[in-house]
């Protein structure tokens, strides 16, 4: 059996849309699952809308998501060039081939593909003009996702514009032929176009590839598919917000496909192993940022500590929560107690800022809550103070101090927690309190409690 060759063929328009990313991902997964080749081809035939900076957006996002390509820009390959703008001679040659066979003809300066079938002229309601219809035989597609789909083209269509540039349908098919693409995995928005593509394959006398039309990603609410303007629609947004690329990729897999082993958050190696086109869903999926955040949080918490630190450190430096002088060991100590609680890297600076400055932010809400709930926080801290001044500075020692304070004043140990938490962190929640105190150290802890009392 010949090797699988799939391609992702984006048009560089300056954005990398989440739907495009998912299409790329399914192609990539299929290539990796089958041991085939993943080809990146740049469809830049529309000169009006393309530029080198736009290309960079795509390449950067592809790399960020860990989708490496075997052939394409910057890596080369035997079927290049991989930019359609550099393949114009080929398109001219292929056009001539169709013209010589009588499959294409010139009209109004453009070239049209000639369909086979009886012709008649009718008024088209949608186009609001008279058109020549062709009673062509339906094209039959056995789609790997959707099954048998039958559709007939009913008009000749342009394959080369009067300005000399080929149109999408033509270059798409020519390149798929020349690059020996075996499987076309693309969005369902192309399903209706497929009959055009099959007509082209037929005209060339070439057996078409297998097709798999994957469902679209719909807006979270409201009608229609995700558009550039929707929140969460652009991959760069996730990069900026410090989402983990592996989590974004993981979530994208869940839109239109379900892992077979019952897990939702799982390593990419396992996804590759389980991925099958036949298991791709047929119905569109609505984007849900909350679930994506959940996947991100899950992934974040299970990250090896060193990896977590490598991600957190530059961001904390960037936000001036720490400077370069903070030792890896000290940072690791702090991160160790916060990682189990953390849900996003984006909010890490505010979540853990109090570890590194005396000038930490105090949450008014938490303070109000404190007074409302637990009586007199200052009184509690005065009761607690002598015990933690003397105790052994370990989790167990600090815990014993809290218990001792409770026993001495006929209270529950937890009565001291909220005041201590607020005094030392300015927050109402966060990492485990004993861990916070231990990591802050005795001097800092006592200093902050005394500062609070003043």
* Catalytic residue IDs: 228
Map residues 212-231 to x or -, x wherever contact with RNA holds by CB under 7 A.
---xx-x----xxx------
Tell the smallest beta-carbon distance from residue 2 to RNA (Å): 27
* Chosen residue from 417, 442, 444, 452 binding RNA by CB under 7 A: 417
Of 36 and 72, the one with the shorter C-beta distance to RNA is 72
139 three-state secondary structure: strand
Cα–Cα distance, 421 to 418 (Å, whole number): 5
Neighbours of 208 (CB within 10 A): 19
Integer Cα distance of 452 and 441 in angstroms: 17
Spatial contact of 153 and 133, defined as CB atoms under 8 Å apart:
no
Nearer to RNA, 10 or 36 (CB): 10
Tell me whether residue 3 or residue 414 sits nearer to RNA (CB atom).
414
Q: Which of 19, 36, 209, 419 binds RNA (CB under 7 A)?
A: 419
**For residue 116, what is the DSSP state?**
P
Tell me phi and psi for residue 8, to 5 degrees: -115, 130
Site for RNA in 241-280 (CB under 7 A): 254-256, 258, 262, 264
* Stretch (H or E) spanning 110: strand 110-113
Residue 3: CB minimum distance to RNA, A: 26
Contact range with RNA by CB under 7 A, out of 55-63, 75-83, 114-122, 190-198: 190-198
Single out the residue of 158, 272, 315, 404 in contact with RNA (rule: CB under 7 A): 158
Find the binding residues for RNA in span 295-334 (CB under 7 A): 297-298, 301
Judge contact between 245 and 66, C-beta under 8 A. yes
Contacts with RNA: how many residues (CB under 7 A)? 88
Cβ contact 360:353 at 8 Å: yes
Q: Based on the shown chain and the rule CB under 7 A, indicate whether residue 351 belongs to the binding site for RNA.
A: yes
Among 15, 83, 157, 393, binds RNA (CB under 7 A): 157
State phi, psi for 15 to the nearest 5 degrees: -135, 150
Asked if 310 and 300 touch (Cβ cutoff 8 Å), the reply is no
Q: How many residues does the chain have?
A: 454
The residues in 362-381 that bind RNA, with binding defined as CB under 7 A, are 366, 369-370, 373-374
Give kind and range of the element (H or E) at residue 107. strand 104-107
Among the listed ranges 21-29, 92-100, 228-236, 336-344, the one in contact with RNA (CB under 7 A) is: 336-344
Pick out residues in 77-136 that bind RNA (CB under 7 A): 107-110, 124-127
């Amino acid at each position: 059996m010949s090797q699988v060759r799939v391609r992702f063929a984006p048009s560089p328009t300056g954005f990398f849309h989440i739907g495009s990313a998912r299409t790329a991902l399914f192609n990539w997964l299929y290539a990796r699952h089958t041991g085939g080749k993943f080809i990146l081809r740049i469809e830049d035939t529309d000169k009006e809308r393309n530029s080198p900076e736009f290309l960079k957006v795509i390449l950067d996002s592809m790399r960020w998501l860990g989708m490496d390509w075997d052939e394409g820009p910057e890596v080369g390959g035997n079927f290049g060039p991989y930019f359609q703008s550099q393949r114009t001679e080929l398109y001219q040659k292929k056009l001539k081939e169709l013209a010589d066979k009588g499959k294409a003809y010139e009209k109004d300066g453009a070239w049209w593909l000639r369909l086979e079938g009886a012709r008649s002229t009718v008024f088209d309601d949608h186009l609001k003009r008279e058109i020549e219809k062709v009673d062509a035989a339906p094209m039959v597609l056995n789609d790997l996702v959707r099954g048998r789909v039958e559709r007939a083209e009913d008009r000749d269509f342009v394959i080369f514009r009067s300005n000399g540039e080929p149109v999408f349908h033509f270059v798409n098919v020519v390149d798929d032929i020349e690059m020996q693409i075996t499987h076309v995995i693309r969005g369902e928005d192309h399903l209706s176009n497929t009959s055009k593509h099959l007509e082209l394959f037929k005209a060339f006398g070439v057996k078409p590839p297998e097709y798999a039309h994957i469902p679209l990603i719909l807006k979270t609410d409201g009608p229609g598919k995700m558009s550039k303007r929707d929140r969460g629609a652009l991959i760069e947004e996730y990069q900026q917000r410090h989402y983990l690329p592996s989590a974004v990729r993981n979530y994208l897999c869940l839109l239109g496909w379900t892992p077979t082993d019952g897990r939702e958050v799982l390593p990419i190696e396992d996804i590759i192993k389980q991925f099958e086109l036949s298991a791709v869903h047929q119905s569109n999926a609505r984007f849900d940022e909350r679930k994506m955040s959940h996947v991100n949080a899950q992934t974040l918490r299970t990250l090896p500590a060193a990896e977590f630190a490598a991600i957190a450190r530059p961001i904390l430096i960037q936000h001036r929560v720490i400077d370069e002088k903070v030792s890896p060991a000290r940072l690791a100590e702090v991160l160790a107690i916060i990682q189990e609680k953390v849900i996003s890297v984006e909010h890490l600076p505010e979540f853990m800022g109090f570890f590194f400055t005396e000038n930490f932010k105090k949450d008014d809400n938490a303070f109000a809550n404190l007074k409302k709930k637990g009586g007199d926080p200052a009184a509690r801290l005065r009761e607690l103070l002598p015990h933690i001044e003397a105790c052994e500075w370990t989790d167990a020692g600090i815990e014993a101090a809290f218990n001792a304070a409770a026993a001495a004043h006929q209270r529950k140990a937890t009565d001291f927690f909220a005041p201590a938490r607020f005094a030392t962190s300015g927050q109402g929640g966060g990492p485990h309190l004993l861990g916070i105190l231990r990591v802050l150290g005795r001097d800092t802890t006592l200093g902050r409690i005394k500062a609070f009392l003043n």
